[in-house]
Amino acid sequence: MTDLDRVLADLVIANRILAHEDVVDAYGHVSVRHPADPKRFFLARSLAPSMVGREDIMQFDLEGRPLEGDARQPYLERFIHAAVYEARPEVLAVVHAHAEAVLPFGISGAPLRPVIHSGSFMGEQVPVWDIRDKFGDTNLLVTSMPQGRDLALRLGTHNVSLMRGHGFVAAARSLIEVVRMSVYVPRNARVQMAALQLGAVKALSPGEIAARNAGYKPQSPETQRAWEYWATRAGCGELLKKA
């Protein structure tokens, strides 16, 4: 299996995990940067992530244009991915999703903050991007590079940005990390939501967030353990094999 084969197999796994863990439904998507060409990224054609296979993956440039004459229907919102890869050279994987538990934090004044250790990877602050600020009344979808770039600007150097009335975007240094964030950010949101009903909430400290981030390695046994677990649950454990 070549490096590229491994990356594409992992992208299929990521699609299936996000579907099985209820981060995406028919909508939402995950992409990965081309390992050999930072000006390209991989993203499925317009298809529910639970149904994505290797053959459904397309290549795009950093303007969101399909490559190699691929005429299949792409996701309307591929510009989210393109713009984040363009703005953030260190980012290797991106998720856009509408996980229900994070949505309340995008439409109220309450900031989403890491309050549990597994939520630490969202970072100290999670900005909220409102497409209406710059583009007025739209259908809320990010369907052009200017919209994608405006979102990437709001994301800045953060790992996650909420999108008002719509969902979130998450960016990370690996597919495993972006999937992990996408699974645990909603859990953190549910816990924060409940804790706010109970009283003052003790969030993770900046030092704790930094300590967790410093120690993170995509290839650590702890990280791989979760990837293997989620893939197995999602019914695609066989794709883990390094054939």
**Which helix H or strand E contains 172, and what residues bound it?**
strand 167-172
Q: Which one, 34 or 106, has the nearer CB to a copy of itself?
A: 106
- Site map 60..99 versus a copy of itself, x via CB under 8 A: -------------x--x---------------------x-
Q: How far is the CB of 1 from a copy of itself (least distance, A)?
A: 23
Tokens linked to 1: 């299996």
Q: Which one, 61 or 130, has the nearer CB to a copy of itself?
A: 130
Tokens linked to 215: 């120690």
Q: How far is the CB of 165 from a copy of itself (least distance, A)?
A: 5
Rounded Cα gap, residues 242 and 184, in angstroms: 27
Of 21, 55, 68, 77, which residue is the catalytic one?
Answer: 77
Which segment (10-18, 30-38, 62-70, 224-232) binds a copy of itself by CB under 8 A?
224-232
Residue 48 is a binding residue for a copy of itself (CB under 8 A):
yes
Q: How many residues does the chain have?
A: 243
Among 3, 68, 89, 200, binds a copy of itself (CB under 8 A): 200
Q: Which one, 135 or 158, has the nearer CB to a copy of itself?
A: 135
Residue 53 is a binding residue for a copy of itself (CB under 8 A):
no
Q: Which one, 49 or 88, has the nearer CB to a copy of itself?
A: 49
Rounded Cα gap, residues 229 and 243, in angstroms: 19
Within 116-145, the residues that bind a copy of itself by CB under 8 A are 116-118, 120, 130, 132, 136-141
> Nearest-CA neighbor of 132 among 116, 112, 154?
154
Q: How far is the CB of 70 from a copy of itself (least distance, A)?
A: 15
Say whether 90 is catalytic: no
Rounded Cα gap, residues 145 and 9, in angstroms: 28
Strand order in the sheet with 57-61: 57-61, 40-44, 29-33, 93-97, 167-172, 160-163, 128-129
- Strand residues in 15-143 grouped as ranges (E): 29-33, 40-44, 57-61, 93-97, 128-129
Rounded Cα gap, residues 48 and 59, in angstroms: 17
DSSP letters, 190-236, are HHHHHHHHHS---PPPHHHHHHHHHH--TTSHHHHHHHHHHHHHTT-
Among 13, 170, 178, 204, binds a copy of itself (CB under 8 A): 204
Q: Which residues are catalytic?
A: 77
Using CB under 8 A, list all residues that contact a copy of itself.
Answer: 25-27, 46-48, 50-51, 73, 76, 98, 100-101, 103-105, 107-110, 115-118, 120, 130, 132, 136-141, 164-166, 187, 190-191, 193-208, 210-212, 215, 221-222, 225-226, 228-230, 232-233
